[in-house]
């Protein structure tokens, strides 16, 4: 809104010309989201406590987690509000990609909200039935995928890291792939959200990385120089990414160990869904496996654990899945697990960025 209100004034006051620059608006979207979280965070925590919207704990979880029972959850509502408002204030709203990614964030956030509310109201860790939740997630992701597929100028080919000429065109198969990426990423972030600050740290790193990818993909000169696909309009997604980074840092202020509030499924699903959408919009779908390597590791630890448990009649690979619980049960203090996962996330992001020149 500020872009549309103030930029046209640059013909009268030249200083307003600064609003044309994506870099300027990205910085202030991040600052806006950060300030909103700082200002509204304490109020939201009090409200969540008053409404008795406290976290439920898995009965089979580590003993140390039982002390977390009752900690306010659904803090992801703060992230969604801060990101949405900041993006609407600073982005060029004529770019359809902005509305798509906001729709995914809000849509997946609603699914997460219903899941959280059901857990709290029933006072157990079981939320919305898995099939119902998955169907809703697929419906949103499928809508986005089909919208992109039929959009003029959006090509259904996949960018393969390290290979500049390997661009397989999947046709309608791209709809299935992109739907899988959005839903898979949403649930991967959801699985990672098990310790104080564990999910939001790598999420900040991932969105910072895709902030760069969005800016590069939306600039025809930079895209040509780096030999990556140019996607007109994706530069504006940098503003959304900046808002998520700002909101993530603001939320981390309250979510850092020991957490005053948890993001809940409303936060993890909305962040994961929008991250998967960004990977598709910027044509860096496969690279998400590297950028979000922590989320991939957490997901595969659960898949392998469940598969091995069934194949061997009760034997386990890890002491507990997702894998962050395995390290807890090995005796690692919770803060050590969290920070080490953050470090790995940063290293993976640097590797992913380096691939832009390794082609």
Q: Which residue has the tokens 């991939």?
A: 296
CA distance 112 to 270: 8
DSSP states of 166-208 as a string?
---B-TTHHHHHHHHHHHHHHHHHHHHTTSTTTTHHHHHHHHH
Return d(Cα 32, Cα 314) in angstroms, integer.
50
Residue 211's Cβ-count burial label (10 Å; 0-12, 13-18, 19+) is buried
**C-alpha to C-alpha distances, 131 to 15, 110, 112, 137, 185, nearest whole angstrom:** 54, 16, 14, 10, 17
Distances (CA, A) of 66 to 55, 58, 135, 241: 10, 8, 31, 34
CA atoms within 13 A on the CB side of 290: 19
pLDDT tens-digit profile, the chain (359 residues): 787 887 777 778 778 788 899 999 999 999 999 999 999 999 999 999 988 877 766 555 565 655 567 789 899 999 999 999 999 999 999 999 999 999 999 999 999 999 999 888 877 767 788 899 999 999 999 999 999 999 888 888 888 887 766 678 888 899 999 999 999 999 999 999 989 999 999 999 999 999 999 999 999 999 999 988 899 999 999 999 999 999 999 999 999 999 999 999 999 999 999 999 999 999 999 999 999 999 999 999 999 999 988 888 888 998 888 999 899 989 899 999 999 999 999 999 999 999 887 76
Return the half-sphere exposure (C-beta side, CA atoms, 13 A cut-off) of residue 14: 0
pTM to 2 decimal places = 0.94
Phi, psi of 169 (to 5 degrees): -90, 115
Distance CA 15, CA 4 (A): 15
């Amino acid at each position: 809104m500020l872009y549309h209100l103030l930029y046209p004034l640059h013909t009268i006051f030249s200083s307003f010309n600064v609003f044309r620059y994506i870099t300027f608006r990205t910085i202030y979207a991040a600052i806006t989201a950060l300030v909103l979280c700082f200002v509204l965070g304490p109020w939201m925590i009090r409200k969540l406590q008053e409404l008795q919207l406290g976290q439920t704990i898995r009965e089979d979880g580590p003993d140390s987690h039982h002390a977390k029972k009752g900690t306010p959850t659904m803090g992801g509502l703060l992230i969604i509000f801060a990101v949405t408002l900041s993006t609407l204030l600073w982005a060029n709203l004529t770019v359809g990609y902005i509305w798509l990614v906001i729709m995914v964030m809000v849509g997946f956030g609603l699914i997460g909200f219903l899941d959280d509310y059901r857990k709290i109201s029933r006072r157990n860790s079981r939320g919305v039935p898995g099939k119902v939740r998955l169907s809703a997630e697929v419906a949103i992701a499928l809508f986005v995928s089909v919208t992109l597929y039929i959009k003029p100028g959006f090509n259904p080919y996949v960018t393969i890291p390290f290979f500049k000429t390997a661009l397989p065109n999947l046709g309608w198969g791209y709809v299935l792939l992109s739907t899988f990426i959005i839903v898979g990423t949403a649930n991967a972030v959801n699985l990672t959200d098990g310790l104080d600050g564990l999910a939001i740290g790598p999420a900040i790193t991932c969105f910072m990385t895709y902030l760069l990818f969005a800016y590069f993909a939306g600039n025809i000169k930079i895209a040509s120089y780096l030999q990556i696909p140019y996607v007109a309009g994706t530069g504006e997604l940098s503003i959304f990414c900046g808002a998520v980074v700002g909101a993530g840092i603001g939320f981390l202020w309250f979510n850092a160990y020991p957490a005053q509030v948890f993001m809940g499924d409303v936060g993890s699903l909305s962040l994961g869904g929008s991250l998967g959408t960004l990977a598709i919009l910027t044509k860096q779908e496969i690279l998400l496996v590297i950028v979000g390597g922590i989320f991939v590791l957490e997901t595969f630890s659960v898949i392998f654990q469940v598969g091995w448990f069934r194949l061997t009649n009760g034997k386990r690979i890890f002491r507990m899945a997702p894998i962050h619980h395995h390290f807890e049960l090995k005796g690692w203090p919770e803060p050590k697990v969290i920070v080490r996962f953050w470090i790995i996330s940063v290293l993976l992001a640097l590797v992913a960025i380096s691939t832009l020149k390794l082609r």
